[in-house]
Every structure is written in structure tokens, then in C-alpha cells.
Chains A and B, each alone.
Chain A
Amino acid sequence: MADRRRVNGPVGATIPPVFEDEEVQTQETQRVTRSRAPNGIRKMYLKTGVTPSASGSAYLEIETSGKDGVSGLKLSCTVHGPRSLPRSSPFSPHIILSTHVKFAPFATKQRRGYLRDPSERDLGTHLEAALRGAIIADRWPKSGVDIIISIIEGDQDRETSGAQGDDTWDMMNALSGCITVASAALADAGIDCVDTVAGGVAALVKDGGETGTARIVIDPISSEHESIEAACCIAYLPTRDEITNLWFKGDMPDHDMGIYSELVQQGIQASKLANRVLVESLGETVK
């Protein structure tokens, strides 16, 4: 799957060097812990209409957790269309959505290639499911719309090069950002939706070592917690009280179903908070 048309970087993964300094011994104790309330999301900046050539576009930035070296999430979304389908394609009574999510090669610790890898395709499918529920698809027969999201900076802690397994949880944060920004871009493009859909993440985290108790937080950052037991990402339509996409991952015994439903509830809550930012930003554009 090597891309032969471009000059690619080295084949093997490279890990950025981490230099030891005097703080290295106390790194464990200096771990940044969550300072926000468990039911608060990070501040975000959302602006629509940033790409003039696209019919709709939006840019989303989520603040860093206040620690140097931790990058926030930066997403840019462009919507092209609705435009007519090519002549060769069969008749479609609905608008055909195609979503395209791509991490920039430099967005994460591990370099991403130019071709989309399976995890990015997977994100695209999730995003498609989330948006298809929101769009009123039958108002545009025989047409298609392309939604392209580039993740300019992923939400990763640069200092913990040894940290592993947090990628999978970061994907949920990325997806929730993608849903919110795509919804803003769709509104900017003037495509009719039943409601603005926004993404939210809730997670069951465990702090304080072996004895620590698990608690539910929204908008989790994996580097701020010792371990994440389960997480769920939700795309929610607030006025209709409907979920268009639900993605839960974790390990939950069947007698803990209360925790599962609480997790979903908190995910909805996170999505509502993100939706407020979205609505406000769209309101500003209209003025």
C-alpha cells in the first residue's frame, strides 16, 4: 500500500526522542490530573465559512488542558455540494453522502501516511452514520455531497512517548469533534437538517491506583487519567431527543448496566454542551 508518487518518510515508525531531565523521577507524581469538573467539557472555538472555495466549511479547535506539550484538537471541515451525480451513477432518490476523515501526517505521535488507514476509514463510517440521521436526504434526489475533514492536530500528549493504548480512546474524542465540526459546515453550506447534531464523549475512568474508585467524566483526556475502563461517543439531536450514532467500547459486566446507561446519559450531556457552542457560533454567522 506504499504510495509511490510521493517522497515518503522512513518506513518504520519513529519515536520522538525523550530526554531525561531531573524531573524524570517525579514524573509519576507530576502527572496532570483533571482539573475540570467531571461534567464539564473543554472550551472550544468554532468558526464557520473559513474556506471560501467550498460551499460550506468550519474550523474547530478544542483548548489544551493547560499543560505545555499537550496539543488540543484542531479540525477543519469542508463541504462540497450538493452537486449533481456523475452521469454514470444510478438514480438515487436521496442525497449521497461521502465522508472523508484524514489525520494530517503530523497530527499524532505516530506519523500517518497520505493514504487513509483503516482507523480513519472507520471514523468516516461513524461520521456518515451520525450525519445521515440529521440530513433531510430526500430533498436532494440525484445529488451528492462530499464532507472532508482534516484533523490538523490530534489530541495527544507529547510527553508520554511510552504511553500506549490511548490511541483507541483518542479516536472517540476525534470522532466527537468531527461530528460537531461537520454539522457546522453542513449548516454553513445550507443543507437542510432536522437539527444540528453534535458529538459528545463520556468515559468511565479510574484514578488513584488499585484502590481508586471508578467515576464517570465527560470529554476525557486519556493522559489525565490512569486508566479508562469504558467510553462512549454519542451523536445527539437535542430538539428531537434522538441519538444518530452511538459507539461504546469497554468491558462491562451485565450487572453494571446502570453504569452503561449513565455513561450514555453523560455522553448526551456532553453532546448538548457542544451543541450550545455550535448553535451560538451559527447564530453569530447569521448576524
Chain B
Amino acid sequence: MASTQHVLLSPAELAYLHEALSLTPPIRPDGRAPMQFRPLVAETEILPGTNGSARICFADGTEAIVGVKAEVERTRGYHGDEQEEGGEEEEEGGEERREGEREGQGEWVELTVEIPGYRDDDAGTAFLAAMLSEALLADGRFAKKLWISRRFHWKLFLDILLISPPLSYPLPLLSLTTHLALLSTRLPRLKSEGDEDPFFDDDWAAAPYLYPQGTTTTRPPITLLVMAVGRNIIFDPSKEELAVADVVLAVSVGEAATNSASTKGKGKAIGGMDIDSAAAQPGRSLRLLSVRTVDPPSRVTPPGMPNATNSAYGVAVSVQKQPEARTVEAQAVEGVWKAPRGGAKPAVMAALVQKVLERGGVADEVLDALEAVELG
């Protein structure tokens, strides 16, 4: 699995790292502040054959590209559809009603992740793909954007490629790249109306963005990796830091729409008010979309042995049968690394999630940075 890849650190190094990270403030091996993200280079629309694409390169040398491709697909009919259609035909509610009855399905989005050196059916890769698509589909609004007519929809293929070896757990990188690729995604403009067979404008310049530009409507979610060591919360951990983590969470957040889809048609008063109230507080308001624990690789790190039980230091060891069993039961000695056992306290997990959702926090900073990337 990608998160539990072996880190070549000795127990002594692990103990030192753990201690450094549990200090207040923590001292990270690369000198970052606990809430600081790695610097990154981003560009969009790099692949001409796709509907949208992006590339992000982190300072540690990991790099990912994402291509989004769309196809028109016939929507499968289900039982009970006919009845509903009858009812709709009678009420001519106009455009607003149409908006309401649009329904998206999770299977309209197909997301694949490829990581060099790992099989595509590797559990870790499947976990990454599931986490990213789960965040995307969590609010149900994304799939609605792919609705064309009652009989047709767009099928979106998101192909995520890590093109460097996985030097650190690639989740934040892949998530940010996917975010940018989706922002730059454009779908051809629909010319046909109603339930006709779909017919599109062949002028690519007229193609609208999947996520309309310059509005305060929703943007794709981002997934952040956050970990706790002792009482410290550390964002965007590197591989070495993950090796001593007590608990690692992947938290997906989205931007809360200030004027959501339901209030779109109903005058500007509501939208304006919302913006005012949001402006009163610094930072944007966020939505929590999904949380997953990532199995911390610290659980499979080799334990150290205290001098008191180490025969190399002249301790007479009488029972030689199972030396490992003895060291395990020994009390924790300061400065001797021991892989953590058990889980994390509920309060610690709650604090991690709270920290991610904090107004003006890291998620805000990352979203701001991604907003500054120019499209096209």
C-alpha cells in the first residue's frame, strides 16, 4: 500500500523524529511550520486531447497529471420512470422546475489512479481512487452538472497519473491536481433543446466550463492529509513524518456555496445577504465532505530496544528463547522508539477535523492558491 511503503529509518531516528515533532512548536525535518503546505508549481490545459487537464509539481519532486475526458452516454431507464414522466408533462414549470428534477448518478463519473510501481488493482490505489471520487460525489451536485436531457448524460473519465515515483503519500497532490483539472474542464455547448438527441456546438471557444468561472458557486473539493503527533497537528506530512504519526486523517472539504443551486433563481437579495454575512468573517466557509483514517505506516516500523534489556550493553540475558516477546512487554522508555498500538482518542480526531475546517486555515490558503492558477 502506498501509505505503508517502507521508510528506511532506524528506531533511533524514528524516536528522534517523533520527539522533534511533539515539541511545541514542532520542528519538522524540512523546516516548515506545522500548518504550512509544500510549495507547488501548477499549470492547466496542458493536454490538447482532453476536455480539461492539469499538472502539479510539488517541491519534493512528486508530480502528477490529470486528464478529464467526457463522452455522451445514454441514461439507463429504471422502473417507475414512465409514471413520473407523465406527471412532468402536465406541469410546465419552465426552467426552474427542470433544474430541480435533474438527477445525477455516481456512476457517471469514472476515476482511475495510476501510480508507478504499483499494480492498478493494488488496495492502496483503489483506496486513493475511492477517496477522491467519494469527495467529488458527496454533495450530489457534481453529478447533476453532467445531466444533458432525460435520456442522455455526460460520462466523465478522470484519469489521474502520478508521473514521479511516490516519494510521499500522494493523496494531497492527486487531489489538488484533480481540482485544477476539473476547474479547467469544458464541455461542448448544447444546441439541441429538451429531449431531442443531443447536438452540440462544434466551436470549442464557445464551450462553457463545467464549473462556471468568476462566480461564487461551488468548486471541486480538495482532500487534505493531516496527522497528529502527540498534541501537535501537522498538515501535509512528508513520508518521514508519516512514519512517526499517531493518527493520519484524509479530510475532504468543499467550498460552501454562498448562493446554492436552489436559490439561484430567486432574486439576488438572498445571495447578496449571504455574501455579506460571509464577508463579516475572514476566510470562506467550508463544507466537510468526507473523512477517512489512513493506516499510519508508523504501526509497521521496527521497534527499538532499551539499553536495560540489550545484551550488547552487558546485560546478562537469562531467557534467550523469545527476545522479541520480552522487549515488547517492557515499559516504554524515553527515547526508545516503539510502534504505536491501538487507535486514537475521539477528541484527537475531532481536533484534526476542526483544524482543517478552520476559517482562514490551511484549506482556505490552498483554495486561494489554486484560485490564482490561471486557466488556459
Q: Which of A124, A195, A242, A249 contacts B344 (CB 8 A)?
A: A242
In the complex, A124→B129 CA distance in Å?
14
Tell me the A99-141 residues at the B interface (CB within 8 Å). Answer: 116, 118-119, 121-122, 124-126, 128-129, 132-134, 136-139, 141
* Interface check B7, CB cutoff 8 A: no
* Interface check A282, CB cutoff 8 A: no
* Interface check B266, CB cutoff 8 A: no
Report the minimal beta-carbon distance from A140 to chain B, rounded to whole angstroms.
Answer: 9
* Interface check B325, CB cutoff 8 A: yes
In the complex, A125→B345 CA distance in Å?
21
- CB pair A251 B139 closer than 8 Å: yes
Q: Which of B290, B339, B341 contacts A249 (CB 8 A)?
A: B290
In the complex, A137→B285 CA distance in Å?
42
- CB pair B342 A264 closer than 8 Å: no
* Interface check A18, CB cutoff 8 A: yes
Interface string of B299-335 (1 = CB under 8 A from A): 1111100000000000000000000110010000000
- CB pair B79 A161 closer than 8 Å: yes
- CB pair A162 B79 closer than 8 Å: yes
Give 14 new A-B contacts, CB below 8 A, not counting A129-B294, A254-B256: A118-B126, A119-B130, A125-B1, A129-B295, A138-B339, A139-B324, A139-B328, A162-B79, A240-B342, A242-B346, A248-B292, A249-B138, A250-B288, A257-B353
In the complex, A237→B295 CA distance in Å?
16
* Interface check A165, CB cutoff 8 A: yes
Given the known interface contacts A94-B339, A261-B350, the answer about A125 and B123 at a Cβ–Cβ threshold of 8 Å is: yes
Report the minimal beta-carbon distance from B226 to chain A, rounded to whole angstroms.
Answer: 13
* Interface check B359, CB cutoff 8 A: yes
Q: Which chain A positions have C-beta within 8 A of B376? A: none
- CB pair B126 A121 closer than 8 Å: yes
What bracket does the count of chain B residues touching chain A fall in? 35 or more
Q: Which of A18, A141, A248, A252 contacts B324 (CB 8 A)?
A: A141
- CB pair A241 B346 closer than 8 Å: yes
What bracket does the count of chain A residues touching chain B fall in? 35 or more
- CB pair A243 B105 closer than 8 Å: no
Q: Which chain B positions have C-beta within 8 A of A30? A: none
9 interchain residue pairs of minimum CB distance: A244-B343, A242-B343, A121-B126, A248-B291, A129-B295, A122-B130, A125-B127, A133-B343, A93-B302
* Interface check B61, CB cutoff 8 A: no
In the complex, A246→B285 CA distance in Å?
24
Instruction: Tell me the nearest residue of chain A to B143, going by C-beta.
Output: A165
Interface string of B271-297 (1 = CB under 8 A from A): 000000000000001111111111100
Max chain B CB contacts within 10 Å: which of A92, A124, A249, A261? A249
